[in-house]
């Protein structure tokens, strides 16, 4: 029935969402739509189109695109009842989709095409207007779609290659129309806000700033690029506006750009606009009297000229920090012995390792965030001994976040694990020759406590006489079994000989994930005893693929996505498409080294992004 999936995921007694008893009687196409802003585990927007008496629904992590060049991921979810057109409210924590939901826009739409693989439509709302196309993703077997805008809008995509504008040192101008903006002695940064997510960039490096976690969600779907100062205390003072909602604002005069800033919701606990006053000597004296480092005078009609130094900005009373020249490393993380060879077979050096982790940082860091890292270090290269390191209390710098986490079965009861949540942190690990970065299937909460697992992993390990090719065939069988409960998994190479499948889940008990994985592994072994085993003993694996369910034990870890492996060659744990899994006929088909990753990221982006932004799946009770 059309709404069976919807009802199965909701408890009428616990959630305020409408749960109608009856299915729709008619099957008319309908023409109403709603877009809801959903502050759940991860902020996203739910696009719902009336079709055959229900609301066909897609979760769009970054909101509707405003230009024709931007593609948005969209995840097809269960059909919703028509009553959801007017629903807003608080879904209780712990329930499916728990969080705050508000109506972002609603209205009528015109449908041009509706098929299993493509939906073309035009929205006629107040905020959402224009022609859009939903296309079933070729690389996702079940619920992955792409959303693009297909009409001419006159808008442009958010730029990602902008550099800061700089002024010249000098005294307060006395002639002309100038404005004085207070400076607070922080680090100049660019701040990208897109789809409710924030990136803070300094000299091309991305910074992790926990105090700004709420900035993106407070702005919502609006794409913005800001010039700001970030103080050592994590306070952001916003000084200028470079881009707003599909529009390049750089050609505008500063007074006009600042007027746009004042209309935006940019005042929070740790971020606000830097004060602007008329360029008057009395204002400058007051700034100095408060002990602030200085100010910048900006000519009111001055455009923003990225990467330029212009006398239309005059920096008053500020000392410039010298720019670094060719220092090996990232930020505070220096790289010693950059030419040291860590992979003798290929001549791959420590500098090459750092280059890899900088290349993959944007897609890797979200998968590491909140997860304690176990490092495997090869200080003398992969042909020499290695060692695992969990406790970094003796040598981690103060700027590396550490948390004391229990280590059942380890040498001690607890260890101070590192958390690698910035490019700077990856560079620190690279300098330690920590080639492999392993993480658990759970995260640490704000108070330092361990959350219940949010991932299920099936680690497919080829026994003697088998390769990743046989793992791919078993992976296809697992997908078919998961489909019985509408569960979706995402594949990734291990960087070694095997293959791994990941499911984003929500569970009430930590044991649920390992119970579910074990039950499925045992079922496959029973159905295909000649090719699959669920028993760990190596002598039982000959000619078979071991479905290692034990990796869901909360005391265990798996290799992090995009991590290098300490093998003869610098192979990488690489996300792959289901088409690649199905097409795999020789082991080399799914072997990727650090040299392959830049091209794959250009083509595919992060294939495991659904693990971060799709709603967590509930495991069946029988599991």
| Structure tokens that stand for 292 in this block | 């602030």
pLDDT value of position 325: 36
Residue 142 pLDDT level (bands cut at 50, 70, 90):
low
Helices (H), 290-339: none
DSSP bridge partners of 72: 147
Give the orientation angle of helix 597-604 with respect to helix 350-368, to 10 degrees.
30
Lowest-pLDDT range of 211-215, 255-259, 380-384, 444-448: 444-448
pLDDT of 324-364, one tens digit each? 334 467 888 999 999 999 999 999 999 999 999 999 999 99
pLDDT of 555-610, one tens digit each? 999 999 999 999 999 999 999 999 999 999 999 999 999 999 999 998 899 999 99
Lowest-pLDDT range of 308-317, 425-434, 606-615: 606-615
pLDDT of 98-119, one tens digit each? 999 999 999 999 999 999 999 9
DSSP bridge partners of 123: 109, 130
DSSP string, 384-410: S--EEE---TTT--TTSEEEEEE-TTS
Structural contact between residues 66 and 245, judged by C-beta atoms closer than 8 angstroms? yes
Q: Which of 43, 370, 420, 38 is nearest to 198 (CA)?
A: 43
Structural contact between residues 498 and 547, judged by C-beta atoms closer than 8 angstroms? no
Residue 226 has pLDDT above 90, yes or no: yes
pLDDT value of position 131: 97
Its sign, for the CA torsion 599, 603, 608, 612, is: positive
Residue 26 pLDDT level (bands cut at 50, 70, 90):
low
Residue 1 has pLDDT above 80, yes or no: no
Q: What percent of the chain has pLDDT over 90?
A: 76
Residue 322 has pLDDT above 50, yes or no: no
pTM of the model as a whole? 0.53
| Residue 368: HSE in the Cβ half-sphere, 13 Å Cα cutoff | 30
Structural contact between residues 297 and 178, judged by C-beta atoms closer than 8 angstroms? yes
User: What average pLDDT score do residues 237-258 get?
Assistant: 96
Residue 153 has pLDDT above 90, yes or no: no
pLDDT value of position 409: 52
Other beta carbons within 10 Å of 622: 7
Q: What percent of the chain has pLDDT over 70?
A: 95
Angstrom distance (rounded) from CA 511 to CA 83: 37
pLDDT value of position 544: 95
Other beta carbons within 10 Å of 106: 18
Angstrom distance (rounded) from CA 298 to CA 253: 10
Q: Which of 280, 279, 241, 286 is nearest to 261 (CA)?
A: 241
Three state DSSP letters for 420-470: CCCHHHHHHHHHCCEEEEEECCCCECCCCCECCCCEEEEEEEECCCCCHHH
- Which residues have C-beta within 8 Å of that of residue 521, sequence separation ≥ 6? 458, 532, 534, 547, 548, 549
Distances (CA, A) of 252 to 197, 240, 613: 25, 11, 35
pLDDT value of position 328: 65
Residue 56 has pLDDT above 90, yes or no: yes
pLDDT value of position 321: 38
pLDDT value of position 598: 92
pLDDT value of position 154: 85
User: What average pLDDT score do residues 273-288 get?
Assistant: 91
| Structure tokens that stand for 448 in this block | 């330092």
Structural contact between residues 74 and 147, judged by C-beta atoms closer than 8 angstroms? yes
- What value does the mean pLDDT of the chain take? 91
Q: Which of 335, 362, 338, 353 is nearest to 566 (CA)?
A: 353
Angstrom distance (rounded) from CA 216 to CA 506: 24
pLDDT value of position 27: 61
pLDDT of 410-468, one tens digit each? 556 788 999 999 999 999 999 999 999 999 999 998 777 899 999 999 999 999 999 99
pLDDT value of position 326: 40
Angstrom distance (rounded) from CA 50 to CA 540: 53
Q: Alpha-carbon dihedral of residues 96, 265, 423, 205, nearest 10 degrees? A: 150
Angstrom distance (rounded) from CA 140 to CA 373: 29
Angstrom distance (rounded) from CA 164 to CA 86: 44
Distances (CA, A) of 113 to 41, 118, 575: 33, 7, 32
pLDDT of 9-23, one tens digit each? 999 999 999 999 888
| Residue 244: HSE in the Cβ half-sphere, 13 Å Cα cutoff | 20
- Which residues have C-beta within 8 Å of that of residue 588, sequence separation ≥ 6? none
Structural contact between residues 492 and 574, judged by C-beta atoms closer than 8 angstroms? yes
- Which residues have C-beta within 8 Å of that of residue 404, sequence separation ≥ 6? 414, 415, 416, 417, 448
């Amino acid at each position: 029935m059309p709404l069976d999936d919807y009802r199965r995921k909701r408890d009428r007694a616990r959630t305020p969402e409408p749960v109608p008893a009856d299915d729709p009687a008619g099957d008319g196409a309908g023409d109403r739509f709603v877009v809801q802003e959903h502050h759940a585990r991860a902020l996203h927007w739910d696009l719902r189109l009336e079709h055959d008496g229900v609301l066909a629904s897609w979760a769009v992590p970054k909101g509707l695109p405003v230009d024709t060049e931007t593609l948005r991921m969209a995840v097809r979810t269960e059909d919703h009842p028509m009553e959801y057109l007017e629903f807003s409210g608080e879904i209780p924590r712990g329930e499916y989709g728990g969080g705050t939901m508000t109506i972002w826009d609603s209205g009528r739409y015109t449908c041009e095409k509706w098929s299993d693989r493509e939906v073309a439509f035009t929205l006629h709302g107040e905020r959402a207007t224009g022609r859009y196309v939903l296309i079933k993703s070729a690389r996702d077997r079940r619920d992955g779609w792409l959303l693009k805008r297909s009409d001419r809008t006159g808008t442009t995509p958010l730029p990602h290659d902008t550099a800061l504008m700089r002024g010249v040192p000098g005294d307060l101008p006395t002639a002309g129309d100038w404005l004085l903006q207070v400076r607070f002695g922080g680090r100049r940064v660019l701040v990208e806000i897109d789809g409710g997510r924030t990136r803070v960039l300094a000299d091309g490096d991305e910074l992790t700033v926990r105090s700004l976690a709420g900035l993106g969600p407070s702005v919502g779907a609006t794409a913005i690029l800001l010039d700001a100062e970030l103080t050592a205390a994590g306070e952001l003072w916003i000084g200028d506006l470079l881009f707003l909602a599909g529009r390049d604002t750089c050609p505008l005069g500063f007074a006009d750009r600042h007027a746009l800033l004042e209309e935006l919701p940019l005042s929070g606990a740790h971020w606000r606009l830097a004060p602007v006053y008329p360029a008057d000597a009395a204002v400058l004296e007051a700034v100095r009297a408060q002990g602030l480092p200085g100010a910048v005078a900006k000519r009111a009609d001055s455009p923003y000229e990225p990467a330029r130094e212009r006398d239309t900005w005059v920096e008053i009373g500020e000392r410039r920090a010298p720019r670094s020249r060719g220092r090996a490393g990232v930020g505070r993380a220096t790289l010693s012995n950059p030419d040291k060879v860590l992979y003798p077979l290929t001549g791959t050096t420590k500098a090459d390792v750092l280059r890899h982790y900088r290349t993959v940082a944007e897609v890797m860091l979200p998968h590491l965030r909140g997860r304690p890292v176990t490092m495997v270090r090869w200080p003398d290269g992969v042909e020499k001994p290695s060692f695992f390191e969990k406790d970094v209390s003796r040598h981690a710098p103060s700027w590396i976040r550490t948390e004391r986490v229990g280590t059942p079965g380890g040498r001690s009861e607890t260890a101070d694990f590192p958390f690698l949540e910035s490019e700077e942190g990856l560079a620190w690990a690279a300098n330690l020759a920590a080639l492999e970065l392993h993480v658990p299937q759970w995260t640490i909460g704000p108070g330092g406590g361990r959350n219940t697992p949010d991932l299920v992993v099936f680690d497919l390990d080829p026994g003697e006489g088998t390769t990743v090719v046989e793992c791919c065939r078993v992976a296809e069988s697992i997908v078919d079994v998961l489909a019985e409960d509408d569960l979706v998994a995402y594949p990734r190479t291990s960087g070694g000989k095997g293959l791994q499948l990941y499911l984003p889940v929500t569970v009430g008990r930590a044991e649920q994930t390992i119970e579910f994985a074990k039950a499925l592994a045992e079922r496959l072994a029973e159905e295909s005893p000649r090719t699959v085993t669920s028993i760990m003993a190596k002598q039982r694996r000959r000619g078979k693929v071991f479905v290692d369910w034990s990796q869901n034990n909360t005391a265990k870890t798996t290799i992090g996505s995009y991590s290098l492996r300490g093998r003869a060659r610098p192979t990488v744990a690489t996300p792959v498409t289901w088409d690649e899994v199905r097409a795999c006929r020789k082991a080399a088909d799914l072997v990727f080294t650090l040299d392959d990753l830049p091209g794959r990221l250009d083509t595919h982006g992060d294939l495991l992004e659904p693990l971060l932004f799709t709603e967590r799946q509930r495991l069946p009770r029988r599991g």
